Amino acid sequence: MNTIEKALMHALFVHLHHNIDKAIDFKAIEALNQQVGRLFPGALVVGPGDDAAVVKFPETDCMFVAKMESHCSPCVPRPYDAAATGAGGAMRDVVAMGARPIFLLDFIGTRPLHEKVIVGPCGFDGKCTCGKCVEMTSGERLNLMVQGLKDMCRAMDVFIVGGGFSTSFSDIVPAVVVSVIGKMVSNKPLTKPAKSAGDRVILIGETGNDGNDTLYRAGLVKEMRPAIALFEEERRVMEATLAAFRTNKIKACSDLGAAGIGAAVCESARYGGFGARVNLDRVPLKVPDLTPEEIMICETQGRMAVQVEPKDVDEVLAVVRAHGVKAEVIAEINNDDREVFEFRGKTVAVIPNKPSEAEMAELTRK
């Protein structure tokens, strides 16, 4: 494994963000849902495991989508952007299932409001040594986080309908958790797994070098740069994606969250039982001269990935671009058991759908 392969594979196969089943007994949850399903048949359309849940209220034909997401650690260096992107990320997960987000609930847990906190790159250490941090009260940081949530909801026309708040936290990292509920607009839920070999992956939106958490954890960069909130871009990408859904040509959809393009393509292909070949040169960039590592797994906001048959590519691209949003075909689904990422004619990473025992041992070695 080269460095970027190790970083992405660690995110996909070790880090609990992508492997919740290693910490939570989903078989017990499945058994519970089956029990409840006997009381409300057909109410749970898509349960745990995809970008968001899809539910149908009993005795109605109305389907709703719900997602809960946290953005706790990024609130240490960037509380405003982190809270906003936490809300935006949950909204994109709802969109990824074929729905428009409508309602948001939030929970914030922080230290007592009078206590001092360090906001900036050294926030995790509790003392600034870089000269870029700001000392403020927990209450002042709270105001920044709430403002970030409000600004994202304002940009996306989403109600804030409730939530919770606590000042009993003692950890450096505050708790910032949002739940988003939306109404289905596509004719059926759009799930993450790839559906057919030969389908093309269209990336909607532009990629930057912010949101470098995966690179930071892998030791590839010295400073964590949490994703920057992109309010106008989020709105345009949402409207463009919903318009693409109305063509009825979208076969699979993914939100680009943790580990970015790399995770979105790898998980979709693997969950569908396929592989993929990705051309990173085709990715629309917000800033020039990004490295292939940054293009692969940075977490720039305001992006979605959809899959269509080759014959439908031009129609979907035209619909998305009509909303002033950049979009390009960046990958093809194939019958391989791995995902190959290429940049300027060279292979920069090969990610297997099932790592070997030796690879897993290296990934988990401390």
- Indicate whether 182 and 217 sit together in one domain: no
Per-residue pLDDT of the chain (366 residues; tens, 9 = 90+): 998 999 999 999 998 888 898 899 999 999 999 999 999 999 999 999 889 999 999 988 899 999 999 989 889 999 999 999 999 999 999 999 999 999 999 999 999 999 999 999 899 998 999 999 999 999 999 999 999 999 999 999 999 999 999 999 999 999 999 999 999 999 899 999 999 999 999 999 999 998 888 888 777 787 777 789 999 999 999 999 999 999 999 999 999 988 999 999 999 999 999 999 999 999 999 999 999 999 999 999 999 999 999 999 999 999 999 999 999 999 999 999 999 999 999 999 999 999 999 999 999 886
Residue range(s) defining the domain that contains residue 318: 192-366
Residue 199 CA to chain centroid, in angstroms? 22
Q: What is the pLDDT of residues 193-204, one digit of tens each?
A: 999 999 999 999
Domain finish residue from 164, 189, 214: 189
pTM over 0.75: yes
Residue 98 backbone dihedrals phi, psi, to 5 degrees? 105, 25
User: What confidence score (pLDDT) does residue 366 get?
Assistant: 64
Q: In the prediction, which pLDDT does 237 show?
A: 98
Same domain, yes or no: 146 and 239: no
292 and 230 together in one domain:
yes
> Which CATH number fits the domain that encloses residue 289?
3.90.650.10
Structural domain count, the chain: 2
Last residue of a domain, one of 153, 168, 189: 189
Structural domain contains residue 10 = no
Q: Are residues 97 and 158 in the same domain?
A: yes
Kindly state the helix (H) or strand (E) to which residue 188 belongs, with its residue range: none
User: Quick one: which of 83, 80, 77, 136 has its CA closest to 108?
Assistant: 83
Same domain, 174 and 218: no
99 assigned to some structural domain:
yes
Tokens coding 336: 């391989």
Regarding whether 181 and 218 lie in a shared domain, the answer is: no
What one-character-per-residue DSSP string does 288-345 give? SS--HHHHHH---SS-EEEEE-GGGHHHHHHHHHTTT--EEEEEEEESSSEEEEEETT
Helices (H), 66-131: 79-96
Q: Cβ(273)–Cβ(335) under 8 Å?
A: no
pLDDT computed for residue 365 by the predictor: 84
Domain boundary among 189, 223, 239: 189
CATH code of the domain in which 82 resides: 3.30.1330.10
